[in-house]
Each structure stands twice: as C-alpha cells, then as structure tokens.
Amino acid sequence: MAKIIEITDFDAPELDVYARLNENQLLSRQEPEKGLFIAESPKVIERALNAGCEPVSLLLEPRHITGEARGILARCENVPVYTAEASVLRNLTGFPMTRGALCAMRRPRLPGVEEVCADARRIAILENVVNPTNVGAIFRSAAALGMDAVLLTPACSNPLYRRAIRVSMGTVFQIPWTFLGKDLSEWPHPGMERIRNLGFRTAAMALSANALCIDDPRLLADEKLAIILGTEGEGLASGTIADCDYTVRIPMCHGVDSLNVAAASAVAFWELRPR
C-alpha cells in the first residue's frame, strides 16, 4: 500500500526533486545511476510504469488519490506519496500543476544503438535539436506515424526532460531511443558509419534545389531508411547533408520557405513510413 504523507515542511529534502533540482541536477551526469526524471499527469506516469521505470516518490493533489491515480497507487506499494491542496503545491513547485500529479522516477538504462535498431525498418535521427518542446513533439509523431526508433546526436536535448516528456504525452516511454554516442565528436562520424553498418540508407531532410520530393518512390523502395532532421533554425549541417544517400524536401506553397522541425517530422514520418 502506498504511503500517503501530507506536506507540512516545504524545505524537506525529499521534496527537492520537485522544487529545487534543475534538469541537469536530475540528470546527474557524473553519477548516471542516480539520475532521476519527472513524469507529469496520471496518463504519462502510467506509460512510464508500463515501460518498467522505477518510481521513487509521487506528488499528488488529493483529488487524484481516490481518482485518476488510484491504479497508479496500487502499483506503487511502499512508495512515498506527498500530497497537499493545489494552492500549496503551487507554492512548492513554483508553477500550477495543471494535471495535479508528478512522479519522480529513476532513469532507465540507456540501450545501445545496435540494440535499439535491431528490428527497425524506419528510424528518426535528430541532429542537435535542443528545444525540449520540439523533441517531445517529434517523439509523439514518431510513435504515432510508424517510426521504429529515435536516435539523438549528443548535442540534442534529453528526451527525459520534464517538458519533453509532457509534450510527448509519454510516448518517450513507448518508442525505443538512445543517443548516438556521448561526445560531440561522435557525430556525424563515426555515427553515420554505425547507421550504414546496420543496413540503413540515410535521408537528410533539407531545403535544396536538387533534393528529391518527399513522395519520390525511390525513398519507399528502401527496406531500411533513416530520416535525419536538423536543429531549429539552421537545419542540418552541410557535412551531414553531403554524407547522406538522399536529400529530401517537403514541397511548400504560398511562399512559405520551411516548416518547424516538429511539423516537418510529422509530414516526413507519415510519407516515408514503411508500407
């Protein structure tokens, strides 16, 4: 049975994870085995639990204890559950808990690239996408529109940042993902070679006069395809584009020059999904 604890001391160290630790402190780069992340909302918490993530504690508005979070509490025996009214929790966290439920969880083991891609036919690669909102939105599209895995270059924002998890609606726990190395020097090489050695052709999403249109049948003919999307604003690095098997563009109308990377990802994933 979960241990319900009413909050009386805002300065209690066990509440630091919700009120005083920033994303880098939660990540715990020096001691990754101690890393934590925050899942927000009952639905997202359930998806994290379904993926095997280990809960450390919960922070709930009272309405959830006998409401939406009842099933979660049944799965979190002996896990501390801190609770207080919404106005008190806002003072603690510094923001309104619009869904009234947070869960601190241990970061899962990060799998290897080869493990993530073992049975994949379509993967997305994110190059230096730093906005957690975009990362979360891309994950949601990848999960919904036929991608089998997501790989991120070392400069990308972490998919387990609170904002990315929330925007993804918990799909970061439903689609396999990992980083293409730990150091910036590992992309585009040797990262690109690792992808090719796994049998993938590579498609750079970029604005180029000689790029293939996204509905070109040659793209669908490849058994295994990696769709590579670039950072906000600048897009993919020129060296990355040059190293790819294809450069692919989404046709634009009304003088619009490009789409936001998250919007472009949805179009690309749908059009290039395996048939």
pLDDT in tens, the chain (275 residues): 678 999 888 788 888 898 888 999 998 877 877 899 999 999 999 999 999 999 999 999 888 888 889 999 999 989 999 998 777 777 777 666 657 899 999 999 999 999 999 999 999 999 999 999 999 999 999 999 999 999 999 999 999 999 999 999 999 999 999 999 999 999 999 999 999 999 999 999 998 878 999 999 999 999 999 999 999 888 999 999 999 999 999 999 999 988 999 999 999 999 999 88
**Structure confidence at residue 143 (pLDDT):** 98
Residue 28 confidence (pLDDT): 85
> Which of these, 150, 158, 169, lies nearest to 265 by C-alpha position?
150
Q: What's the predicted TM-score (pTM) here?
A: 0.93
pLDDT at 1: 61
